[in-house]
Structure 1
Amino acid sequence: MSDVANLLKKYIDVFNETDETSRQAGIAEIFTEDAIYSDPTAEVHGWDGINGHLGNFRKQAPGLIFALGEIRQHHDTLLFGWSASPGGVGNPVASGEDFVLLKGGRIQRIHGFFD
């Protein structure tokens, strides 16, 4: 598995993580300290902002499990698809694509788009 695929696998794992301490550790591993996460519902800054946003999401959708889709890359930019389904099985109830800017092999900015 490529470095980029490993990074995005860890990102999906962080998004699915329900334990706040484990999620915070994962965020610090894959995001730059000044990272920005945005999607149609929010824009948050830094590790604490990202952890808070993901923690709130996990409380709203505790059984929703995300899966990584196709990854495209050039230079320090990525575009990847994702889907989410209850318990990680069955037909997805949500999907989209995320655009990522990397810095030093970590996520500096991520912009999520919903289908």
Structure 2
Amino acid sequence: MSAYTQLIDQYFDTWNETDAARRRELIAATWTDYCVYVDPLLAGNGHDGIDAMIRAVHERFPGHSFRRASDVDGFANNVRFSWWLETPEGTPIVKGSDFGVVEACGRLRTVTGFLDQVPGGA
């Protein structure tokens, strides 16, 4: 497994972690101190912003989980991958693709997300 794949799998572990203390540990291990996440619906800056954003997703979609839906493709310090958000029963309801920049320390500096499929087809 490549270092990029391990990092992105840890990224999904972070998104799926419901225990606040454990999620903060995962954020620190996955993201640089000056990190940024942005997609059409969400944004978070720094560890506090990333944590607040993930917490809000858990509140809106209790019991749902994110899954990687593609291999992790990377070159230089860039990564891309696809994912879905699934219901507790395992049905994907949102699909997307993310693009990230990895710092030399091996942690994510930025992630830009695109929503490929959302409920209602928008």
TM-score interval (norm. to shorter) = over 0.9
**Post-superposition CA distance 1:6-37 (Å, at most 9, x none):** 11011001001111111111000010000001
Paired residue secondary structure (2:110): strand
Aligned CA RMSD, in angstroms, stands at 1.1
For residues 58 and 109 of structure 2, what CA distance do their matches in structure 1 show? 22
The runs of at least 4 consecutive aligned structure 1 residues that moved more than 4 Å come to: none
Q: Indicate if the aligned counterparts of 1:67 and 1:88 stay in contact, CA closer than 8 A.
A: no
Aligned to 1:50: 50
**Post-superposition CA distance 1:48-87 (Å, at most 9, x none):** 1100110111111012111112221111001100012112
Paired residue secondary structure (2:69): strand
Q: Indicate if the aligned counterparts of 1:68 and 1:83 stay in contact, CA closer than 8 A.
A: yes
Q: What is the 5 A alignment of 1:23-62?
A: 23-62=23-62
Q: Could you tell me which amino acid in structure 2 is paired with residue 87 of structure 1? A: P
Aligned to 2:82: 81
Q: Could you tell me which amino acid in structure 2 is paired with residue 35 of structure 1? A: C
Aligned to 1:96: 96
For residues 5 and 56 of structure 1, what CA distance do their matches in structure 2 show? 26
Q: Could you tell me which amino acid in structure 1 is paired with residue 38 of structure 2? A: S
Question: Which TM-score applies when normalising by structure 1?
Answer: 0.94
Q: Indicate if the aligned counterparts of 1:64 and 1:84 stay in contact, CA closer than 8 A.
A: yes
Structure number having the greater strand percentage: 1
For residues 12 and 44 of structure 2, what CA distance do their matches in structure 1 show? 17
Tell me the number of residue pairs that the alignment of Structure 1 and Structure 2 aligns.
Answer: 114
Question: Which TM-score applies when normalising by structure 2?
Answer: 0.89
> After alignment, is 63-72 or 17-26 more displaced?
63-72
Unaligned runs of 5+ residues in structure 2 are 117-122
